[in-house]
């Protein structure tokens, strides 16, 4: 683990001359959520995983969080690592951040992978997430984590894998009560600035979700892809939000195929 001057904790592994892919986790998690993905990438790709401000081992946000702050965090980290361009893979909130970055820094973005990430919510869904933000503000991340695990994993998998539930639960509940809800609000309120992106996102893009992902379902994935010229969408059968942990091969197969196709064109 390394830290950049602004307090961002990161790991950078793989061959120095390999194409770079940056992995950006979701709300309440940390860079360890990519442990089911990165081992198969390390032989060929230069893989950069980092903790968002206020998560894992990174510093607290230096100002009130918003998507631009997280986009700037990534740009600063790339500069620190001497990386000019990269393909970005973002999960959930991370999928929002990579869209913001691709608008802010199109010349640095060679491709996007958007995993289980939101588009415009219905009024009821937006009301529900705002209520969870307020619950987290008053009671902390432990007040929302059990319901989150139910949304994130299929019931059978959750019951059969208590150790994994403990890992993910510990990640979420390890977040600071004074910070967590401020970043949760970015997940809730930041969506409007990346819908119908302007400037448009112009890089090759892959959008993935599970057909049973309650908050980021197939209709959202198709809507995201429809706004990015040439984007592909993949719907994973029988999986919920944390498919990357529940069934890594289901996510990794289309992800690796997309990355290899990009590499072949480079």
CA angle 246, 251, 256 (to 5 degrees): 145
Q: Give the residue from 195, 212, 19 showing the smallest Cα distance to 96.
A: 195
Residues in the chain where the model's pLDDT stays below 50: none
Structure confidence by residue, pLDDT tens digits, 178-191: 999 999 999 999 99
Neighbours of 71 (CB within 10 A): 20
Domain total in the chain: 1
Question: Range of 14's domain?
Answer: 2-265
Q: Specify the CATH number for the domain of residue 80.
A: 3.40.50.1820
Coil, helix or strand at residue 10: strand
Backbone phi, then psi, for 45, in 5-degree steps?
-100, 150
Q: What is the pLDDT of residue 257?
A: 95
**pLDDT at position 265, please?**
79
- pLDDT confidence of residue 207: 98
Instruction: Report pLDDT digits (tens) over 238-253.
Output: 999 999 999 999 999 9
The pLDDT assigned to 251 comes to 97
Q: How far apart are the C-alpha atoms of 204 and 217, rounded to whole Å?
A: 21
Check residue 264 and give its pLDDT: 83
Q: Which pLDDT score is estimated for 91?
A: 98
pLDDT for residue 42:
76
Cβ neighbors of 87 (< 8 A, separation 6 or more) are 19, 20, 21, 22, 109, 110, 111, 112, 113, 259, 262
Q: DSSP secondary-structure letter at 32?
A: G
CA torsion 145→215→133→159, rounded to 10°? -10
């Amino acid at each position: 683990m390394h830290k950049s001057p602004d307090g961002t904790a990161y790991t950078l592994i793989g061959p120095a001359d390999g194409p770079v892919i940056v992995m950006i986790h979701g709300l309440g998690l940390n860079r360890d959520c990519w442990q089911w993905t990165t081992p198969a990438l390390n032989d060929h790709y230069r893989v950069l995983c980092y903790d968002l401000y206020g998560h894992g081992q990174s510093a607290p946000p230096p100002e009130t969080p918003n998507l631009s702050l997280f986009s700037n965090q990534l740009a600063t980290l790339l500069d620190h690592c001497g990386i000019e361009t990269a393909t970005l893979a973002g999960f959930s909130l991370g999928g929002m951040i990579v869209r913001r970055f691709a608008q802010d820094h199109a010349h640095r973005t060679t491709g996007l992978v958007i995993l289980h990430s939101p588009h415009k919510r219905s009024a009821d869904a937006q009301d529900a997430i705002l209520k969870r933000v307020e619950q987290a503000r008053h009671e902390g991340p432990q007040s929302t984590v059990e319901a989150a695990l139910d949304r994130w994993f299929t019931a059978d998998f959750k019951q059969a894998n208590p150790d994994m539930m403990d890992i993910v639960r510990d990640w979420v509940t390890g977040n600071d009560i004074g910070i967590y809800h401020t970043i949760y609000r970015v997940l809730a309120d930041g969506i409007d600035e990346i819908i119908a992106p302007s400037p448009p996102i112009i890089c090759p893009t892959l959008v993935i979700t599970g057909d049973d992902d309650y908050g980021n379902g197939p209709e959202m994935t198709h809507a995201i892809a429809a706004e990015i010229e040439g984007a592909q969408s993949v719907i994973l059968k029988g999986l919920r939000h944390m498919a990357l942990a529940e069934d890594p091969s289901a996510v990794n197969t289309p992800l690796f195929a997309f990355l290899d196709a990009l590499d072949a064109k480079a």
